[in-house]
Each structure stands twice: as structure tokens, then as C-alpha cells.
Amino acid sequence: MNCKVERLLVNYKTLEEFKKFKEYGIQELSMLEDLETNIIENDSESPFYGIYYGDKLIARMSLYKRSAKSDQYFTPAQEFLELWKLEVLTDYQHRGYGKALVDYAKSIGLPIKTNPRIHSLEFWNKMGFKPVTYDMERDFGENPLIWQPEQA
Ligand code: COA
């Protein structure tokens, strides 16, 4: 099994591959617009990482580094990664590709925050993600899950 995680480039081929994913939306459309209007160059680096099966993109996620200033999830506030749009194409699910992407994100060594999709809680559980401890002071308007590297 090929589980090589690659940083995806923004180009027309990548955007065409993205159409196969359910969570195709605003982020992808604005990438396309930026390409068409030359705001970004063909083959610029994107926030997306993915796994290819042959020349077909079968799994992907988006990873953003957030500064400590924007952190409302960890104590003390610190730099962290926001992981979203994790998705494995239906025919390729349950073969370890989702885990491979999450392991890649973990290997960067920063805490991670994600907003799970409704039916994927058990997967995130297995990946060691936990709900943010409830705190009356905070209203997330979401149900974030977090993961932290082992404290040395
Ligand atoms: N429920 C329970 N356990 C799940 C699961 C699910 N929906 N999806 C994966 N797992 C478990 C696997 O059994 C595996 O456990 P193991 O290590 O003990 O064998 C572990 O999580 C890793 O699984 P993996 O093969 O890496 O998962 P994946 O490649 O299928 O990726 C998702 C997981 C959720 C990202 C992927 O299935 C996906 O994109 N789904 C799209 C829609 C969705 O959210 N579906 C949820 C089911 S309706």
C-alpha cells in the first residue's frame, strides 16, 4: 500500500481531483478563481496534503498553522495546527489512508485541532483526539477535538 503523504500543488489538475471529494466548496472555488485571475501561480504550494493511488488522488486534508494569538483551545495558548477536510474517497476507506494523513500531521509535532464530521467520531477517538474540556467562558459554536504531543 502506498501511504506517501504529499504536499499538494495548486494547479488545474489538483482542482479537478478535488471535485471527487464531497467537501468541495468555497475553499476550492476560491483557489480556482485565484488561479484563473493569476492571483496565485500555477503549481504554488497549497494548504492541502494528500495521498495518490497511481496518479489518482484518493485522500486529502487541509492543514493550517495557527499562531498562539488565535488559540482558544489549548492551555497555555500556543501555536497549533488546524486540520480540516480530511476525507478518503469511499472506495479507499478503511485501508489506513485516513490514519496515514493524521499521523503525518502529528509528526509535525504541534498540537492539532479539528472539527469532526458527524459520523467520524470513532475514527478520531482511535486517533487519540479528545473533546476540548467544557468551559462556560468559551462558546466555540462547534465541537472541536484536540490532540497534543506527549509532554517531554
Ligand atoms: N467508524 C469507526 N471506526 C472507524 C471509522 C468509522 N467511521 N473509520 C475508520 N475507523 C477506524 C478503522 O477501523 C481503523 O481502526 P484500526 O486501526 O483499529 O484498524 C482506524 O479507524 C483507522 O482507519 P483508516 O483506514 O485510516 O480510516 P479511513 O482511511 O477510512 O479514514 C475517514 C477515515 C473518516 C477520514 C474516512 O472514512 C472518510 O473520509 N469518510 C468520509 C465520510 C465520513 O465521515 N464517514 C464516516 C462513516 S459514515
With a 6 A CB cut-off, is 86 part of the ligand 1 pocket? Answer: yes
Query: Does pTM surpass 0.75?
Result: yes
Distance 87 CA to ligand 1 centre (A): 9
CA–chain centroid gap for 21, Å, is 13
- CB contact burial 7-27 (16+ within 10 A = b; e otherwise): ebebbeebbebbeebeeeeeb
Question: Taking a C-beta distance cutoff of 8 angstroms, is the pair 58, 18 a contact?
Answer: no
Q: What is the pLDDT of residue 129?
A: 96
Q: Which atom of ligand 1 is nearest to 102's Cα? A: 26
Domains parsed from the chain with CATH numbers = 5-151 (3.40.630.30)
The DSSP output letter for 110 is S
Model pLDDT for residues 120-149, shown as the tens digit of each residue: 999 999 999 999 876 656 666 778 999 999
Report the alpha-carbon distance of residue 145 to residue 124 in Å, rounded.
8
* % of the chain with per-residue pLDDT over 90: 75
Cα–Cα dist 148/81, whole Å: 10
